[in-house]
Structure 1
Amino acid sequence: MDKPTFLWLNGRLWNAQEASISPFDHGLLVGDGVFETLVVREGRPVGVKPHYERLVRSCQTIGLACITEAEFRQGIQAVLEANGLTDARVRVTLTSGDGPLGSDRGQGLGTVMAVATALKPWPPAEEVWIVPWVRNSRSALAGVKSLSYGENVRCLLHAKNLGSGEALLLNERDELCEGTGSNVFIVSEGRLMTPPLSSGCLAGTTRAWVLQACEVAGIECLQCDIPAAWLEGCAEAFLTSSTRDVHPISRLNGKPLTAPGPLTRRVQQAYAEFVERETA
């Protein structure tokens, strides 16, 4: 794993070898915090405002004080310039700061950190596997980009042990929900569909832009409950995330899919044109 030379921690740049957080930081102890990951291409951060707005929503949901948008942008720009990166993956992390060893929070200031690494390409298409565990759509953290990623780590490990690069989760109603770091769209009987936010999935910024891009391009996309049984008959499917963009799925639970299929290609084109307009 490539490590950055510099990171942004609590309002200033640090050499990554010298930076440190407290061993009592609640983000480390119990995963009490939130984060955002965004990409930078040719020196242009993609979707800064929607990422910040989601960070605010995540903070509000878990009762955590959020940084300002100016601070969010400052941290991103600082780590890009310090590390000399023009194509990068940037992560901004907020925690509640020092706390006790249990679930109660401390009363001190939170921790804010921004880190950037070189952006690495994904394979042309991804294999995915549905894991045996489910996402709880009624969880207190449903829809929150929380530091509590242990469940995602376990699910992705399961999928990778089966030869896949991403895991898909159903929810407690046996409906398609999301990936461990992505949203998912399927094409079944000629219809493009994606799970609604009520499924328990994260409100992905790329997911939202894909929906907007489809609307502009005249591509109908249904946000609807997708029973697991429907996946058996899907002809195409793709993942979306800040780093994946619109990423075709080549195998679903071992079943080959057309990757990219004709509708996926249309969405890829519509999305690329939409992002170009948004970041111009």
Structure 2
Amino acid sequence: MTPPQFLWLNGRIQSTEEARLSPLDHGFLVGDGVFETLVVRRGKPFAAKQHYERLVKSCEVTGLHCISEPTFHESISAVMQANGLQDARVRVTLTSGDGPLGSDRGAGEGTVLVVATPLNSWPPTEKVQLAPWTRNSRGALASVKSVSYGENVRALLYAKERGCGEALVVNESNQLCEGTGSNVFVVLEGRLLTPPLSSGCLAGITRQLVLEACAKVGIVCLEEDLPVVVLEECEEAFLTSSTRDVHPISLLNGRALQAPGSVTLAVQQAFQQMYATGA
């Protein structure tokens, strides 16, 4: 990935060479922060309102101060313009700022960092591996888009060591939860299913838009607790995320799946219809 030339840090555009984060920033020291990743295509952020609302919720859960909605939009526009981008992956990160070496927070202001990079293309289909670790559905950071991504990094490494591009995890009840950077849908006996938010999965923006798109065109999609055995029985499966959109799974724990299958293809088309109308 080509690094950006400019970024937004604490209210102003800076070059990547001059920008500096404090070594005492709690985002670095203890992973105390939240973030949003969204895509911009043809200069227009997709689902920006939904992303900002989720950022606000993450800040409320973690006790962090959130930036204003105008600042959210201004910072995204500024980094896009500074880097000469029309299509980009944008990440907005907020941390609690400088703090002590332990878990206590400092009393100073937080850090706001916004970075934009060119969009990378995904392969037409994805290979996915179930990781051997669990997600805690009742943890303090359940459903929060936290910068504490160590578990996700380890699970994705596990998948990549096995030739896959994404890992899935289950929760403490051995029910299907989510991917390391995605939500998951399966087709079982012709029924389209996805884990409920109570499973501990992130409330993915694309996940919600897919549910809405399906409802608009009459595709029934149910949120149900899914025992991990569904990965051995499903006929189709796909991932959703802001950068993947609706991404068919062609290999699941070494088992080949039709990708895209008929249901997945219908969901892709429904989502693209919503995308074209600027959801």
TM-score range, shorter chain: over 0.9
Alignment partner, residue 274 of structure 1: 274
Count of aligned pairs between the two proteins: 279
Q: Deviations over 1:220-253 (max 9, x none)?
A: 0000000011221100000000000000000100
Query: 1:260 aligned to 2:260?
Result: yes
Q: Aligned-residue CA RMSD in angstroms?
A: 0.6
Task: Find the aligned partners of 2:22 and 2:190 in 1 and give their Cα distance.
Answer: 53
Alignment partner, residue 212 of structure 1: 212
After TM superposition, the score normalised by the length of structure 1 is 0.99
Task: Find the aligned partners of 2:210 and 2:2 in 1 and give their Cα distance.
Answer: 30
Alignment partner, residue 249 of structure 2: 249
After TM superposition, the score normalised by the length of structure 2 is 0.99
Aligned pairs (5 A) from 1:32-111: 32-111=32-111
Aligned pairs (5 A) from 1:26-37: 26-37=26-37
Q: Secondary structure at the match of 2:219?
A: coil
Query: CA offset at residue 278 of structure 1?
Result: 2.5
Aligned sequence identity (%): 66
Task: Find the aligned partners of 2:4 and 2:232 in 1 and give their Cα distance.
Answer: 43
Task: Find the aligned partners of 1:66 and 1:227 in 2 and give their Cα distance.
Answer: 36
Q: Deviations over 1:66-103 (max 9, x none)?
A: 00000000110000000000110000000000000000
Q: Deviations over 1:123-166 (max 9, x none)?
A: 00000000000000011000000000000000000000000000
Amino acid across the alignment from 1:118: P
Task: Find the aligned partners of 2:146 and 2:2 in 1 and give their Cα distance.
Answer: 24
Instruction: Specify every segment of 5 or more residues in structure 1 that has no aligned partner in the other structure, as ranges.
Output: none
Alignment partner, residue 124 of structure 2: 124
Alignment partner, residue 171 of structure 2: 171
Alignment partner, residue 183 of structure 2: 183
Task: Find the aligned partners of 1:234 and 1:65 in 2 and give their Cα distance.
Answer: 42
Task: Find the aligned partners of 2:149 and 2:127 in 1 and give their Cα distance.
Answer: 21
Q: Secondary structure at the match of 1:210?
A: helix
Alignment partner, residue 221 of structure 2: 221
Task: Find the aligned partners of 1:250 and 1:2 in 2 and give their Cα distance.
Answer: 29
Q: Secondary structure at the match of 2:213?
A: helix
Task: Find the aligned partners of 1:274 and 1:206 in 2 and give their Cα distance.
Answer: 11
Task: Find the aligned partners of 1:278 and 1:227 in 2 and give their Cα distance.
Answer: 35
Moved over 2 A (4+): none
Q: Secondary structure at the match of 2:278?
A: helix
Task: Find the aligned partners of 1:160 and 1:133 in 2 and give their Cα distance.
Answer: 15
Amino acid across the alignment from 1:55: L
Q: Secondary structure at the match of 1:73?
A: helix
